[in-house]
């Protein structure tokens, strides 16, 4: 088996869609311009069973899967799409504004997608405005936390 170079963590693009992905006719709500994405994780909690006559350990079976809260961070811009989405969901309270998300990790040479992570039924649960400090020299960063109902990882063939 051939070994490949590791993926660089800073070559990525994030897209949020209403409905399915853009390729499937979805409408792009927000894309790009994120400085950080964290919380891309799935955890399976095994179910343990004691079997009669088996004195050496328990049987382990696959159990339910839970997904981590995904955090998006970006420099504050004049575009208010993240706040608008959070605000619409918070005011309506019915969860009807769920989106799909795609995170693409790109090749550092050609910029071609190497890895695509898809999140389904994404819902914003926390919006954090940047700290405002006149003496600060760093870029103001807004943060949005998302929960979702599924995570799929697709790798480029080859």
Cα distance between residue 19 and residue 39, in whole Å: 22
Range of weakest confidence among 20-24, 61-65, 89-93, 144-148:
20-24
Structure-block tokens of residue 117: 């992570």
pLDDT digits (tens, 9 = 90+) for 93-135: 766 688 899 988 887 767 778 889 999 999 999 988 887 878 8
CATH of the domain at 103: 2.30.110.20
pTM, to two decimals: 0.79
Residue 5: inside a domain:
no
Cα distance between residue 63 and residue 45, in whole Å: 5
Identify the domain containing residue 110 by its residue range. Answer: 12-155
The pLDDT > 90 percentage for the chain reads 29
How many domains does the chain divide into?
1
Residue 3: inside a domain:
no
Q: How many CB atoms lie within 10 A of CB 121?
A: 13
């Amino acid at each position: 088996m051939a070994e490949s170079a590791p993926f660089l963590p800073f070559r990525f693009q994030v897209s949020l869609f209403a409905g399915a992905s853009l390729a499937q006719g979805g409408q792009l709500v927000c894309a790009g311009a994120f400085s950080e994405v964290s919380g891309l994780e799935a955890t399976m909690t095994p179910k343990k069973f004691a079997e009669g006559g088996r004195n050496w350990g328990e049987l382990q079976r696959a159990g339910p899967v839970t997904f981590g809260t995904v955090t998006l961070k970006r420099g504050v811009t004049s575009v208010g799409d993240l706040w608008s989405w959070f605000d619409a969901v918070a005011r309506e309270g019915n969860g009807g504004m769920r989106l799909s998300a795609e995170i693409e990790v790109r090749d550092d040479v050609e910029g071609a997608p190497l890895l695509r992570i898809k999140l389904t039924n994404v819902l914003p649960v926390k919006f954090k405005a940047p700290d405002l400090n006149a003496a600060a020299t760093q870029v103001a960063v807004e943060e949005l936390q998302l929960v979702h109902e599924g995570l799929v990882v697709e790798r480029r063939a080859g």
